[in-house]
Structure 1
Amino acid sequence: MGSLFEELEAREAAARVRVEELEAELAELSGRLDLAREGLERLRIARETVAEVLAEMTPEMSATAVDDDLPTAGESVASAYAGV
């Protein structure tokens, strides 16, 4: 019967290692998820702020300002998030 208990101990040790690996993976994914949530929240706040500013501007100013800031056809657009 000694070999049965040895086999169970070996399986328990392997299961323990697998649990530790999954816990480490979970910690990494949780960190990445937190960063993604923070980025999403920043974008939501930026969108709301832009909407508020545009709503406070006169109709003539907001149309001109938006049109002036839009890139023309063929103009390249730089992004802070490029390559992320």
Structure 2
Amino acid sequence: MGSLFEELEAREATARTRVEELEAELAEVSGRLSAAREGLERLRIARETVAEVLAEMTPEKPGAAVDTDRSSPVDSAASAYAGPSGGSSGC
């Protein structure tokens, strides 16, 4: 029965190696995900800042109503980066 225990030990060593490889891969992917989230947040802030600046630069015509329910062209152009909800990811 010694060979059965040797086989189990070999399988355990293989499984342990695979777990260590996956943990290293997870750490790498987690780092890339964090960097991508930071980039997304910077783009969201940039979009909001540009929208604010454009709103301040655009002279309002007397008697013209501002439609606050509609997204501005800047909002809709950048919404592809903001995800399906058009807002932040909540992270």
Corresponding residue number in structure 2 for 1:27: 27
Provide the identity percentage. Answer: 92
In structure 2, what residue type is equivalent to 1:15?
A
Higher RCO structure (Cα 8 Å, ≥6 apart): 2
Distance 2:48 2:30 in 1: 27
Matched positions, count = 60
TM-score by length of 1: 0.67
Distance 1:51 1:11 in 2: 59
1:58 CA drift (Å):
3.0
Kindly report which structure 2 residues correspond to 1:1-84, keeping only aligned pairs within 5 A, or say none: 1-59=1-59
1:57 CA drift (Å):
1.7
5+ unaligned residues in a row in structure 1: which ranges?
A: 61-84
In structure 1, what residue type is equivalent to 2:44?
R
1:56 CA drift (Å):
1.4
TM-score by length of 2: 0.63
1:59 CA drift (Å):
3.0
In structure 2, what residue type is equivalent to 1:13?
A
Distance 2:58 2:10 in 1: 74
1:18 CA drift (Å):
0.3
The structure where helix makes up a greater share of residues is 1
Q: CA RMSD of the aligned region, Å?
A: 1.2
Corresponding residue number in structure 1 for 2:70: none
